[in-house]
Amino acid sequence: MLQFVTMLDVSAIKKEFPIFERRVNGNPLVYLDSASTTQKPKVVLDALVEYYSTMNANIHRGVHTLSEEATAAYEGVRAKVARFVGAREPAEIIFTRNATEALNLVAYTWGEKNIRAGDEIAVSELEHHSNLVTWQELCRRKGAVLRVIPLTSDADEGESSRRAATNNVDSGAQDGAVLGDGNLDVSRLDEFITPKCKLVAVTQMSNVLGTVTPVEEIIASAHKVGAVVVVDGAQGVPHLGADVQKMDCDFFAFSAHKMFGPTGVGVLYGKREHLEKMPPFLFGGEMVKEVDQMKAEWNDLPWKFEAGTPNIADVIAFGKALDFVDGLGFERIRAHDQELVTYARQKLSDFDGVTVYGPAVSGGIVSFTVAGVHPHDVASILNEAGVAVRAGHHCAQPLMQRLHVPATTRMSFSVYNDFADVDSACEALKNVYKIFKF
Amino acid sequence: MDLYGEIILDHFQHPHHHGRLDHATLSGRDSNPLCGDQIQLDIMANAEGTITDVGFAGQGCAISQASASMLTDELIGKSLFEAAQMSNEDIFQLLGVPISPARVKCALLGLATLKKTITLDKLRMS
C-alpha cells in the first residue's frame, strides 16, 4: 500500500464525517464527487443544531440576548471569511446564497452600471455555466461582445483526441481543433483582453479538468487595459485557498458547500472602491438605513447587499468549516490532491479505451471517458459498488464541445479520500468492462 | 446488476431499426440536456395511417438507446394514433427492470421523441 507523504491523516479525517458510516448498495460509501459538493464534518453539523438550540434569533435588529449573540456569531464569521481570503476588512465580504448568486450580483449591479454597447467581456473556455451564462446575458442586455480565452491547442495531444473520437458515443461535431494540455493559452491573452475589454470573468480552477488557471497573469493583463476582474473561486478555494490582495482581483466569488460548509451560503468579496459605487442588488429590509414613504437611503457596506433575513444558521456553521480547513492547511491539501490525481491517472491508464482529460497537475479532479460506454452508464455501474462519481457535462457544455465528448465521468477528491477509494473506483470500473463485454 | 441485463445490452449494442429513413412520413428529434443523449426518429406510414417502417439514430447511454430500440419494435403495425398514445408505463414494461429516478429521463427519451414526432399538427398535414 502506498503511503501518503503529505501527512494528512485521512483515516482520522474520515472519522470526522458522519456520512462515511453509511453504506450504499451494501458497500461502504466511496465519495468521489466533492467537486459537486463536499461532505460535512460533524463540527459543522453540530454548529447548526447548536445555533437553533441555543441562540436562534434574527440578527441586527434585536436588543435581546439571543439576537446579540446570533449577530455576533454571524458577523464573526464574516470577519473570519475576510481573514480567510485576505480581504482588507470584513465590509468587503458579502454573504449570498451561493457562488452563482455572487456572480449575478456583480452582473446586475456593477455590470448594469458600467457595461455599454460595444464593450467587451472576456471569459475563458473553462468556465462553469454560472460564470458564462451570467456574462452572455449581460452582453445581450447591453449589446456588449463576449470574448473567450481559449485552451492551448497542442498537436502532441492529438492521440487522446483521436481515441476519444473513436468512441461510438462521441459522434459529436468535430471542428478539427485538438485539445492541448487543458491549460489556458496565456500567450494569447492580448488577443482576447483588448482595450475594449471592461470585465474579465475567469475561474480559479476548472470543475471539469481540475486545471488551475494563471489568475494573477490574467488579472495583470486585465488591469493593464483598465478592465475589472471577477474570479470564480467556487472550485478553486477548497483546494488552493485564496489571497485576494495578492491576486489583486476586483471580485471573488465562492460557495460554502464546496468546502465542508452547509448549502445555501455563498460569498462575494469585492474591493470597497467598487462596492461603494455599485447600486444594491436586492431591495427590502436590512439593506436600508432610512426609509420614508417615497424613497430610501441604502445601508453601509456590506449590508447594502444583504436584503432580508440572511442564512444565519448556515453562515455560522460555515465558520466551523473554515476552522476545519485552516487546521489542515492548503499546502498539505494541495499535495494530497495531487497524489490522488497522479495515482488515479496511473490506475486508469491500465484500462483499454479510457481517455483521461485535462492536465496531469490538477486540483483534485480526474475526468475520463470509456470508449463505447456513456458516462452515465459508467456512473450507474460504479454506484452499484457504492462509488459516487459525477457523470455529465458538469455545467460546462462549451468545454464538452471543445473536448468532442457529450459528457465525461469525473472523480473529484477531497481530504477524506485515500488511495483505497481510487482502488475501489477502479475495481468497480472493471464491472463496466464485464457488463459491456469488452 | 439488473439495469444492464442481457436484453438491454443487446438492444444497445445491436439496435433494431437503426439508421435514418430516406422518405419518412414523419420525423422528429429530441435530446436530454442533462447528459447529451439524442434521438432522431423517422416514421413511415401508409395511407391508412398504419406505421410500416421506423428508423432511429442517436447517441447516448445504454438505457436511452436500448429503450428507443425496443420502442421501434413496438411501433410497426400500430396506427399513428395508437403510437402517439403510448405511455411511460409501456416503456418501463418493455425495459422490464426497475429504473432509478436518475435514469428515468434516459429511459423515456425515445418515447419523448415519438411524442414530438407524431403531433396533431403533423398528422393533419400528412
Q: Is the pLDDT of residue A178 over 80?
A: no
Show the 3-state SS of B12-81: HHCCCCECCCCCCCEEEEEEECCCCEEEEEEEEECCCCEEEEEEEEEECCHHHHHHHHHHHHHHCCCEHH
Mutate to test the interface with A, among B4, B34, B39, B105 (most CBs of A within 10 A): B4
Cell numbers that stand for A402 in this block: 471543445
Domain check: are A304 and A359 in the same one? Answer: no
Domain check: are A118 and A196 in the same one? Answer: yes
Which chain A residues are within 8 Å of B103, Cβ to Cβ? 376, 380
Q: Is the pLDDT of residue A354 over 90?
A: yes
Q: How far is A435 from chain B (nearest CA, A)?
A: 7
Cell numbers that stand for A224 in this block: 493593464
Domain check: are A145 and A269 in the same one? Answer: yes
Tell me which of A307, A327, A347 is where a domain ends: A327
Report the alpha-carbon distance of residue A83 to residue B3 in Å, rounded. 50
Tell me which of A311, A327, A343 is where a domain ends: A327
The strand pairing partners of B38, in sequence order, are: B31, B59
Q: What residues contact residue A408 under an 8 Å CB cut-off, 6+ apart?
A: A208, A357, A367, A368, A369, A375, A391, A392, A394, A400
How much of chain A exceeds pLDDT 70, in percent? 92
Query: Residue B6: closest CA among chain A residues belongs to which residue?
Result: A435
List phi, psi (to 5°) of A365: -135, 135
Kindly state whether residue A166 falls inside one of the protein's structural domains: no
Domain check: are A69 and A137 in the same one? Answer: yes
Q: What is the pLDDT of residue B37?
A: 87
Please count the CA atoms within 13 angstroms of the CA of A327 that sit on its side-chain side. Answer: 12
The strand pairing partners of A145, in sequence order, are: A120
Cell numbers that stand for B48 in this block: 391508412
Q: Identify the CATH number of the domain in which residue A308 sits.
A: 3.40.640.10
Q: Which segments of A32-119 are extended strands (E)?
A: 93-96
Report the alpha-carbon distance of residue A183 to residue A281 in Å, rounded. 34
Between A312-328 and A65-85, two packed helices, what is the crossing angle to 10 degrees?
40
Kindly state whether residue A423 falls inside one of the protein's structural domains: yes
Domain check: are A276 and A423 in the same one? Answer: no
Chain center to CA of A105: 17
Q: Could you tell me the fold of the domain covering B2-125?
A: Sufe protein. Chain: A (3.90.1010)
Q: What is the pLDDT of residue A167?
A: 35
Query: Could you give the ipTM of this predicted complex?
Result: 0.84
Chain center to CA of A74: 23
Least confident of A100-114, A159-173, A233-247: A159-173
Q: Identify the CATH number of the domain in which residue A393 sits.
A: 3.90.1150.10
The strand pairing partners of A199, in sequence order, are: A121, A228
Domain check: are A94 and A212 in the same one? Answer: yes
Query: Other C-beta atoms within 10 Å of A57: how many?
Result: 16
Q: Which of A171, A377, A406 shows the shortest C-beta gap to B62?
A: A377
| Beta-carbon separation of A406 and B59 below 8 A | yes
Q: Which segments of A4-62 are extended strands (E)?
A: 23-24, 27-28, 30-31
* Averaged pLDDT for residues B40-67: 95
Report the alpha-carbon distance of residue B105 to residue B64 in Å, rounded. 8
* Residue A313 · residue A55 · CB < 8 Å: no
Report the alpha-carbon distance of residue B33 to residue A402 in Å, rounded. 17
* Averaged pLDDT for residues A190-196: 97
Kindly state whether residue A37 falls inside one of the protein's structural domains: no
Kindly state whether residue A170 falls inside one of the protein's structural domains: no
Q: Is the pLDDT of residue A224 over 80?
A: yes
Instruction: Count how many domains chain A has.
Output: 2
Domain ranges of chain B: 2-125
Cis-peptide into B101, omega within 30 deg: no
Q: Which of B1, B13, B61 shows the shortest C-beta gap to A376?
A: B61
Domain check: are A80 and A109 in the same one? Answer: yes
Q: How far is B59 from chain A (nearest CA, A)?
A: 5
CB pairs under 8 A between A and B: 56
Is A140 exposed, middle or buried (CB count within 10 Å of its CB: 0-12, 13-18, 19+)?
exposed
Range of the domain at A381: 10-31+329-435
Cell numbers that stand for B80 in this block: 399513428
* Residue A202 · residue A232 · CB < 8 Å: yes
Domain check: are A94 and A237 in the same one? Answer: yes
Tell me which of A296, A327, A358 is where a domain ends: A327
Mutate to test the interface with A, among B61, B64, B95, B109 (most CBs of A within 10 A): B61
Query: Residue B36: closest CA among chain A residues belongs to which residue?
Result: A406
> Confidence band (pLDDT; 50, 70, 90) for A162?
very low
| Beta-carbon separation of A380 and B37 below 8 A | no
Domain check: are A299 and A355 in the same one? Answer: no
Domain check: are A307 and A360 in the same one? Answer: no
Domain check: are A19 and A66 in the same one? Answer: no
Whether B19 and chain A come into contact, CB under 8 Å, resolves to: no
How much of chain A exceeds pLDDT 90, in percent? 87
Q: What residues contact residue B5 under an 8 Å CB cut-off, 6+ apart?
A: B96, B97
Domain check: are A275 and A386 in the same one? Answer: no
Query: Other C-beta atoms within 10 Å of A9: how many?
Result: 12
Is A306 exposed, middle or buried (CB count within 10 Å of its CB: 0-12, 13-18, 19+)?
buried
pLDDT (tens digit, 9 = 90+) per residue, B57-70?
998 999 999 999 99
Q: Is the pLDDT of residue A424 over 60?
A: yes
Least confident of A56-65, A84-93, A234-243, B67-76: A56-65
Q: How far is B20 from chain A (nearest CA, A)?
A: 15
pTM: 0.90
Whether B15 and chain A come into contact, CB under 8 Å, resolves to: no
| Beta-carbon separation of B4 and A381 below 8 A | yes
Report the alpha-carbon distance of residue A372 to residue A166 in Å, rounded. 8
Interior/surface letters A283-297, b for 16+ CB within 10 angstroms, e for the rest: eeebbbeeeeeeeee
